[in-house]
Structure 1
Amino acid sequence: MALGIAASPALAQAGPPSDAGVQPIEVDDNPPVSCPTGATGFRVEDPTTGSVNIPGDGNFTITVTDTTAGQVFSFDIPTADHRSAIKVVAKGGTGGANVYTYDSTTGFPNGITMDGSLHAPINPSGKFADLSHIDFCVIPSNY
C-alpha cells in the first residue's frame, strides 16, 4: 500500500525592501486600485521605462530594469509637480502583489517622491515575477 502526499504549490514571497527601506507586504490575488481618502489612484498597465501621466496633474518617470533577481522598477516624481506617493502596489505573476506604503508607520509621513528596487512578489522560480501592472496612490505635497 503506497501513501501519497500531495505537494502544495509554492507560495510567493514579498522579498527584500525598496531602496528607501520600505518592506513590501504581499497581498493575495489581484487587488483593485484602492487609495486612502484624498489620494488619487491610478494603474499603469504593462509598465515600461518612460513617462507616466498623473491623472489631471503632471507626469513622473518609471524605470523598469531586468536584473538577475527579476524585474525591478523605480519611480521619480518631479518636485515641480507637488505630488508624493503614499502607496505603490506591484503586481506580477500569479502569487499576488506587493504593497509598499509610505506613511508615518514607515518613516514617510508626507509620502515620498522617489524610490527604487521595487518589485512584484518572488515567484516559485525564486525570482521576482515580471510586472503586469503597478498601482499608485499620490497626494498633494509641499515638496
Structure 2
Amino acid sequence: MWQVYLSGEIHTDWRDRIIQGASEKQLPVTFSSAVTDHEASDAAGDVLGTEPEPFWRDHKSSKINAIRTKTLIEQCDLAIIRFGDKYKQWNAAFDAGYCAALGTPYITLHDADIIHPLKEVDGSAMAWAKTPQQVVAILDYLTTQQ
C-alpha cells in the first residue's frame, strides 16, 4: 500500500479527482493531506489562547499545522504538490523543498503558465503533471506494474 501525500492549493477539486480516479482503478494507495478547511487551518493555534496581533495567531497556527504536515510528509512514499494560479502557494513550495531534503519523491501538478516561477521546484520533482488524470495514470503505473 502506497502512502501518498497531497499538498498545495485548496481552492479546486484536484484532490477529489485524484482520489476518485485511484479508487475507480482500485489502486493500492492511501491518501493524506494538510487540513484543507481554510478557516480551521487558520484557527489551529486558537486553542492556545487568543492573539491580538494577526502575525502571532498565524505563527501559532502554522506551528500546529506543521506537526501534521511534517509527520505526514515523513511517512509518505510519494507527494503530489499542486500549484494553482489563483494564489501563491508558499506552503506547497516549502513542502516540495522538504520532500527534496528528505529524498521523498514528489510530482508537481500545475499549468504550463507557471513553469518559470516553479523551475527550481520542478527541477527536483520526479515528474510534472498538468492534470489530475495524469497523476492517476502515474500512480497506476507505479503501483500495478510488475
- With the length of structure 1 as denominator, give the TM-score of the two structures: 0.26
Q: Which has the higher strand share?
A: 1
* Structure possessing the higher relative contact order (Cα contacts under 8 Å, 6 or more residues apart): 1
